Amino acid sequence: MLFSGLSSTLLLGATCLLMSSGYTRADDVSPPKNARCDSEICRLSHVESITCEGSQTNLQCDKGQVLVIHSASYGRHDKTTCSDGRPTSQLQVVTCSSSTSDDVVASSCNGKNSCTIPATNSVFGDPCVGTYKYLEVVYTCQFQTVTCEGSEANLQCAEGQVLVVHRAHFGRQDKTTCSLGRSACQIKNVDCTTPASINLVTDRCSGKNNCSLSATSSVFGDPCIGTYKYLEVDYTCQFQSLTCEGFQANLQCGEGQIIVVHGAHYGRHDKTTCSAGRPASQLQVVTCSSQSSTDVVAKSCNGKKSCTIPATNSVFGDPCVGTYKYMQVVYTCQFQTVTCEGSQINLQCGKGQVLVIHRADYGRRDKITCSAGRPASQLQLETCSSPGSKNIVANSCNGKNSCTISASNSVFGDPCVGTYKYLGVVYACY
């Protein structure tokens, strides 16, 4: 099946990994400048937008969520993207990127529910004169909550999910937030923040289904006496599996969905998890983790509806001999659908939700999918893909509650004449 053999390239860019109490804070992992979403995990856990030069990119999150830009590149990295109707001379340079790309997109979009940016030289400069360029943006949508000083912040995930905190700030960064009824002197300091904000919120909330904390100086300290402050938190909700050594982890998604692993840890990070009946000597080491954890789990589970993994040294190695360990996995479930050539694909979200396309591919990657009744000659080519697949599906479906697309050469072009193709789409509903 399409997407069943996902890559084991597992650097997560700026999405959540497991940190010291189970996770790593997302703000501790900075994506490289002009990084592209080249790993399978990045492509599935982020949203990737590509806009041809001269057009506008429209980034959109669901209600209550904000944009977080992980990377942006205005230029050209290959000869196929945004190539329709262009002379060869405009497609030859494939190492071209504007150095201002990240800053321009991030400053325009970060923290907003939606934003629009023209993919033009007037916005980004011209990094390669004579080359036809495109704007590529990798981003995620995260929940954001703002709580005025003196009130209680409540972070909440759906049943079976846990909080992962990406950013937290207690202080003041503008004159408008939580300003109602406040004097000018209480809101004039806009360069005020408690440096330990992220640590405090992470320690209280990450890994829990819900948490409450007071937006007060008694909790966060007072970074600017006399200024009226607020607490701002960006977070996502993800599934978490916890399995004690010697037992099996069972990861499960709903019908029509696939597993996308964001991080895994086999070892020990505290003295309490999986400690029942264990002598103190087996719980003392709390800085122990197998380096292969994420790689092993992702290779076993990504792209499947369900998977089972033993939490054992025989699978992960023994990172701390004599210590009783456990395995934690953070993952999300995303929809996958495959439609044979000549049919229509119908994507649908629940009421009040919108589609976000993570991946789409029109072509053929194996000899089994959509093979019934087809001669062998139409199934031999397994390296066939229409380069514009994702853009076409994303442009038609992103931000809508439902959409219908024909799996046909008239829509996607014919990347391999004589081969019987299919359209595979991985998407989420927000």
Same domain, 316 and 354: no
Is residue 61 very low, low, confident or very high in pLDDT (cuts 50, 70, 90)? confident
Is residue 358 very low, low, confident or very high in pLDDT (cuts 50, 70, 90)? confident
Is residue 37 very low, low, confident or very high in pLDDT (cuts 50, 70, 90)? low
- The answer as to whether 54 is a domain residue is yes
Q: Do residues 347 and 337 lie in contact, with contact meaning Cβ atoms separated by under 8 Å?
A: yes
Give the end of a domain, one of 292, 317, 334. Answer: 334
Least confident of 76-90, 91-105, 282-296: 76-90
Q: Write down the pLDDT at residue 404.
A: 94
- The answer as to whether 316 is a domain residue is yes
- The answer as to whether 13 is a domain residue is no
Q: Is the pLDDT of residue 22 over 70?
A: no
Q: Is the pLDDT of residue 24 over 60?
A: no
Q: Is the pLDDT of residue 289 over 90?
A: yes
- The answer as to whether 47 is a domain residue is yes
pLDDT in tens, 173-195: 999 999 999 999 999 999 999 99
Same domain, 128 and 160: no
Across 348-367, b (16+ Cβ under 10 Å) vs e yields: ebeeeebbbbbbbbbbbbee
Same domain, 133 and 37: yes
Same domain, 31 and 125: yes
Same domain, 137 and 173: no
- What's the CATH number where 307 sits? 2.60.120.740
Of residues 259 and 310, more confidently modeled = 310
Q: Do residues 340 and 368 lie in contact, with contact meaning Cβ atoms separated by under 8 Å?
A: no
Q: Is the pLDDT of residue 223 over 80?
A: yes
Q: Is the pLDDT of residue 6 over 50?
A: no
- The answer as to whether 107 is a domain residue is yes
Same domain, 391 and 285: no
- The answer as to whether 132 is a domain residue is yes
pLDDT in tens, 363-397: 999 999 999 999 999 999 999 999 889 889 988 88
Same domain, 90 and 41: yes
**Gyration radius of the chain over CA positions:** 24
Q: Write down the pLDDT at residue 208.
A: 87
Residue whose entry in the numeric block shows the structure tokens 């976000």: 356
Q: Single out the residue of 38, 135, 47 nearest to residue 397, CA to CA.
A: 47
Q: Single out the residue of 53, 131, 54 nearest to residue 92, CA to CA.
A: 131
Same domain, 134 and 155: no
pLDDT in tens, 234-283: 888 888 889 999 999 999 888 878 888 888 999 999 999 999 999 999 99
Q: Write down the pLDDT at residue 193.
A: 95
- The answer as to whether 10 is a domain residue is no
Give the end of a domain, one of 238, 258, 274. Answer: 238
pLDDT above 70 as % of the chain: 89
Residue whose entry in the numeric block shows the structure tokens 């919108």: 354
Q: Is the pLDDT of residue 86 over 50?
A: yes
Q: Return d(Cα 243, Cα 267) in angstroms, integer.
A: 11
What pairs with residue 379 in β-bridges?
Answer: none
Q: Return d(Cα 164, Cα 162) in angstroms, integer.
A: 7
Q: Write down the pLDDT at residue 48.
A: 75
Is residue 287 very low, low, confident or very high in pLDDT (cuts 50, 70, 90)? very high
Q: Write down the pLDDT at residue 26.
A: 31
Q: Do residues 326 and 311 lie in contact, with contact meaning Cβ atoms separated by under 8 Å?
A: yes
Q: Write down the pLDDT at residue 236.
A: 83
Of residues 235 and 62, more confidently modeled = 235
User: Which domain does 393 fall in, by range?
Assistant: 341-429
Same domain, 188 and 260: no
Same domain, 364 and 277: no
Same domain, 330 and 346: no
Mean pLDDT over 67-77 rounds to 90
Q: Is the pLDDT of residue 409 over 70?
A: yes
Q: Write down the pLDDT at residue 256.
A: 79
Q: Return the SS3 of 163.
A: strand
Q: Is the pLDDT of residue 17 over 80?
A: no
Q: Write down the pLDDT at residue 258.
A: 87
Same domain, 296 and 391: no
Q: Write down the pLDDT at residue 5.
A: 34
Q: Return d(Cα 243, Cα 249) in angstroms, integer.
A: 6
Mean pLDDT of the chain: 85
Give the end of a domain, one of 122, 141, 160. Answer: 141
pLDDT in tens, 113-144: 889 999 999 999 999 999 999 998 888 888 88
Q: Is the pLDDT of residue 10 over 60?
A: no
Q: Write down the pLDDT at residue 319.
A: 96
> How many domains would you assign to the chain?
4
Is residue 36 very low, low, confident or very high in pLDDT (cuts 50, 70, 90)? low
- The answer as to whether 263 is a domain residue is yes
